[in-house]
Amino acid sequence: MDKELLGYLFLVIITLAAAFILSTVTQRIMRYYIKRSVLRIKANPTQFSFIKNSVSFVIYAVAIVIIFIKIPALNSIGKAIFAGAGILAAIIGFAAQKTFSNVISGIFILLFKPFSVGDTVETGTGHRGIVEEITLSHIVLRDYENRRIVVPNSVISDETIVNSSIYDERIKKHIEFGISYDSDIDLAIKIIREEAERHPLTLDRRTQEEIDSDCPVVKVRLIELGDYDIKLRAYVWASNNDDAFEIKCSLLKSVKRRFDESGIEIPYPYQNVIVRKDAPS
């Protein structure tokens, strides 16, 4: 057999063997890290299998390109094949750019972990719920009406995310009440504070110094003198977002009842219309 032909055959064998070894090692490394990521985000492992397959495809594709470049007899054939493949790849890439964008964004979400499964989040578009599933193309939120909101990764990566669970689930809930200008402000503050501190889900976040100085568990402040009411805001600590919502609903009801019993008016917008009569001629 011709020495040149033997050299080409040896090149093909060595190149394919190197591609096989590199593909095997890469897949094992990726399988290890993907398994860790799957356990962390509780996702389906099959959603990540195409990543490993794509890596192997790229490695073998590079090996074939090297073979076609190094063997002169295959060079002209390779140029024609790769030219057509380049056009096809450009068409496919343009058609699937959104998909690739979602995949890249999904990888960044896995790496930087702005949220995890079980976190309560709110997106910049106003969608709020619990993260139920994270995939490489989208996330699934379960809202408080038990509906599923599917948000593409490329969209959520461009938005501001409010994560209520990432470090500390406790929430300082702001609950506002409006009273009329004729109402007793001090009495209204006293009623709001009593009802908030009486609620079993309200947390006492006071320091020992604040306890010694008789600082209230719930602070209530006058925050605004509005056009038709005086706005009071209660700062109530809760263990998590769900407890905070329950406290707010209970407080609105109990404070309204106490206000009615104490003669404190909750006003509503109104206008005075003045009708002027023309002076007699």
CATH number of 136's domain = 2.30.30.60
Give the integer Cα–Cα distance in Å for 69 and 63: 10
Q: Are residues 156 and 178 in the same domain?
A: no
**Is position 155 within any domain?**
yes
**Is position 280 within any domain?**
no
**Is position 64 within any domain?**
yes
Q: Are residues 9 and 65 in the same domain?
A: yes
**Is position 126 within any domain?**
yes
Q: Are residues 9 and 82 in the same domain?
A: yes
| Domain extent at residue 60 | 3-95
Contact predicate 235/219, CB 8 Å: yes
CA 226 vs. chain centroid, Å, equals 35
pLDDT digits (tens), the chain, 281 positions = 566 667 777 777 888 888 888 888 887 887 777 666 666 655 555 455 556 666 777 788 788 878 777 776 666 665 555 555 565 555 555 555 666 777 777 777 777 778 888 888 888 778 888 888 877 778 888 988 888 888 888 888 888 888 877 777 888 899 999 999 999 999 999 999 999 999 999 999 888 888 888 889 999 999 999 888 999 999 999 998 889 999 999 999 999 999 999 999 988 776 667 777 765 55
CATH number of the domain that residue 241 is part of: 3.30.70.100
pTM listed for this prediction: 0.55
**Is position 269 within any domain?**
no
The beta strands (E) that lie in the chain are given as 120-122, 128-134, 138-142, 148-152, 162-163, 171-179, 219-225, 230-238
Instruction: Provide the number of structural domains found in the chain.
Output: 3
Q: Are residues 48 and 67 in the same domain?
A: yes
Q: Are residues 153 and 74 in the same domain?
A: no
